Amino acid sequence: MTQLVWFRNDLRVSDHEALFQALNRAKQQQTPVRALFFWSDAQWRSHGAGDAKIAATFSALQALHQKLAKLGIPLDVLSVSWWTECAEQMVNYCQSHQITAIHYHTEPGWNELRRDDRVAQQLSKSVELHRYHDLYFIDPAHHLTQQGQVYKVFTAYKKSLLRQFSIDHLATFPPRKAGPALKVSPLAMKDLPNWQNPLQLPVTEDQALTRLDAFCEEVRDYADRRDFPADNGTSQLSAALALGCTSSRQVAHTLHRHHISLASDTFFSEIIWRDFYKYLLFHTPRLCLGEPYNEKWDAFPWQKNETWLERWREGKTGVPIVDAAMRQLRETGWMHNRLRMVTGMYLVKILQQDWRQGEAWFAEHLADFDFAANNGGWQWVASTGVDAVPYFRIFNPYQQSKRFDPNGQFILTFVTELNDVKPALLHDHKRALSVSSYPKPLTDYSKARQDTLDKFKALGSHA
Ligand code: FAD
């Protein structure tokens, strides 16, 4: 008679509804609790994840193992190549450990839903299954417009969420010791990717909560500082949030404890963007299959230029801000939000490459890779998404760097070959940079922009 918590992208013990409920049961029934995680390298890589995300997952898992051990809960990690193997492994696991109930959080996503359905089919007759909608502020199945439709506009979604949302009624799920403790063995893993986390992004629960608390001290400046990549003005909590080392609820409660008004806070609004993209994925799992929300703009005649794509990936496009950002991504496993938009727009709207190529590259290199946020971001950039940027609003990377990196401080951190160039020249696409070690721009910015606009216009008039 044992309760099982099945962990996935929720690698924390505090504010974890499934763990909380399993512990409650264990207390009532005086039964032990075990925890399980499926390590699925091949499956994750097939979803696009790379070394940074996988190494970060291991750090989070290791820390979770220690936290659970203190509660007398052993965490077992079962390796599977593909999630299709989970059901059979779960059946065997439940038999060998006398599992009577499994507690877990639902996840949106095509393969995730199928994985969970298969496990449910195999086990629903022999084991109680308890699923919780822990990811969202409001259960997405019931969060609809007055006409019963799925929200497609962020501001309306946010307004409705804030209207229904009350911090006093927002649950917390503190863990507490319950039931008899079990023996815990060390967590042994082999063949882990080597990623050093050069920015020291928080990737464990303790690191995330410490960062969140510290960030709340400076969050009042967030709206003014968040667009300047040389300034450390954002939280860098994205990897921790993507791994579930902390939750949106914990962010809300921590901001509230620091007397920040959630309704007007810009940082909290970003947390709602995260919620919104997960909500869209919940209602549209086919997005995992590479499909656009808006097919009209996806009919754009993308160019297939491998050389340009490779130069973009390497940070050798000849546009300083784009190159600095792309190098930041490769070297650190993270990129500043404004630059995700700038580099994305440059790839899609100036080099005219299919947004899915950019999406895949980001997925492979981001430690914070999160399918919903990444796909949402790329579809926003490509104008194929729900509430995406209109096709004619194309960020000019030179104006962006002039505005948000005026002294070139960020650019020169990553594009050191331009160290001797005057800052003003870094933002001027009309004057060529005469540095032999730095590439010339791949294409004429103004002409390419006009060509893209013409192609979009033509698409619009055919609709
Ligand atoms: P902060 O500014 O401190 O924001 C706090 C948190 O809010 C973030 O950690 C993140 O969880 C959430 N958030 C902020 N902005 C967004 C947003 N636009 N959409 C969704 N959530 C947001 N974010 C990811 O977590 N994973 C991704 O794979 C990802 N890919 C992206 C791809 C593109 C093309 C674009 C434009 C954006 C992408 N984002 C992604 C969103 C955003 O860029 C990052 O969340 C943010 O830069 C992370 O830095 P931070 O933690 O300092 O953010």
Is 302 catalytic? The answer is yes
How much of the chain is helix, strand and coil, in % rounded to 5?
55, 5, 40
Are 232 and 354 members of one domain?
Answer: no
196, part of any domain:
no
Length of the chain measured in residues? 463
Rounded to whole angstroms, the Cα distance separating 405 from 398 reads 10
Q: What is the pLDDT of residue 37?
A: 97
Q: Name all residues whose Cβ lies below 6 A of ligand 1.
A: 226, 234-238, 241-242, 270-271, 273-274, 277, 337, 340-341, 344, 362, 366, 368-370, 373-374, 376-378, 381
Catalytic residue among 39, 110, 273, 291: 273
Distance 310 CA to ligand 1 centre (A): 24
Mean pLDDT confidence for 258-272? 95
Question: What pTM, to 2 d.p., does this model score?
Answer: 0.97
Is 82 catalytic? The answer is no
**β-pair partners for 101:** 3, 128
Rounded to whole angstroms, the Cα distance separating 110 from 329 reads 27
Among residues 289, 309, 327, the one where a domain terminates is: 289
Are 259 and 307 members of one domain?
Answer: no
Is 312 catalytic? The answer is no
Q: What is the pLDDT of residue 191?
A: 81
219, part of any domain:
yes
Q: What is the pLDDT of residue 387?
A: 86
Residue numbers of the domain that contains 33: 2-134
Rounded to whole angstroms, the Cα distance separating 33 from 27 reads 10
The residue whose CA is least distant from atom 49 of ligand 1 is 236
Are 336 and 375 members of one domain?
Answer: yes
Q: What is the pLDDT of residue 23?
A: 96
300 annotated ligand-binding residue:
no
CATH of the domain at 151: 1.25.40.80
Rounded to whole angstroms, the Cα distance separating 433 from 318 reads 9
458 pLDDT tier (thresholds 50, 70, 90): very high
Please give the mean pLDDT across all residues of the chain. Answer: 95
Mean pLDDT confidence for 302-309? 97
Q: What is the pLDDT of residue 177?
A: 80
Cβ atoms 81, 46 nearer than 8 A: no
Q: What is the pLDDT of residue 460?
A: 85
Cβ atoms 409, 85 nearer than 8 A: no
- How many domains would you assign to the chain? 3
Are 129 and 143 members of one domain?
Answer: no
238 annotated ligand-binding residue:
yes
Mean pLDDT confidence for 223-231? 97
Which tens digits make up the pLDDT trace of 406-438? 999 999 999 999 999 999 999 998 887 889 999
90, part of any domain:
yes
Return the ligand 1 atom nearest residue 363 CA. 28
Distance 75 CA to ligand 1 centre (A): 30
Tokens of 267: 């940082």
Which tens digits make up the pLDDT trace of 147-200? 999 999 999 999 999 999 889 888 889 988 877 888 888 887 878 899 999 999
Return the ligand 1 atom nearest residue 276 CA. 20
Which tens digits make up the pLDDT trace of 100-143? 999 999 999 999 999 999 999 999 899 999 999 888 999 999 99
The residue whose CA is least distant from atom 45 of ligand 1 is 238
405 pLDDT tier (thresholds 50, 70, 90): very high
Is 297 catalytic? The answer is no
Which among 158, 155, 139, 388 is positioned nearest to 283, based on CA atoms? 139
**β-pair partners for 78:** 38
Among residues 289, 306, 330, the one where a domain terminates is: 289
* Residue 107, number of CB atoms within 10 A of its CB: 21
Are 129 and 144 members of one domain?
Answer: no
Is 337 catalytic? The answer is yes
454 annotated ligand-binding residue:
no
Catalytic residue among 291, 331, 337, 417: 337
271 annotated ligand-binding residue:
yes
Among residues 240, 271, 289, the one where a domain terminates is: 289
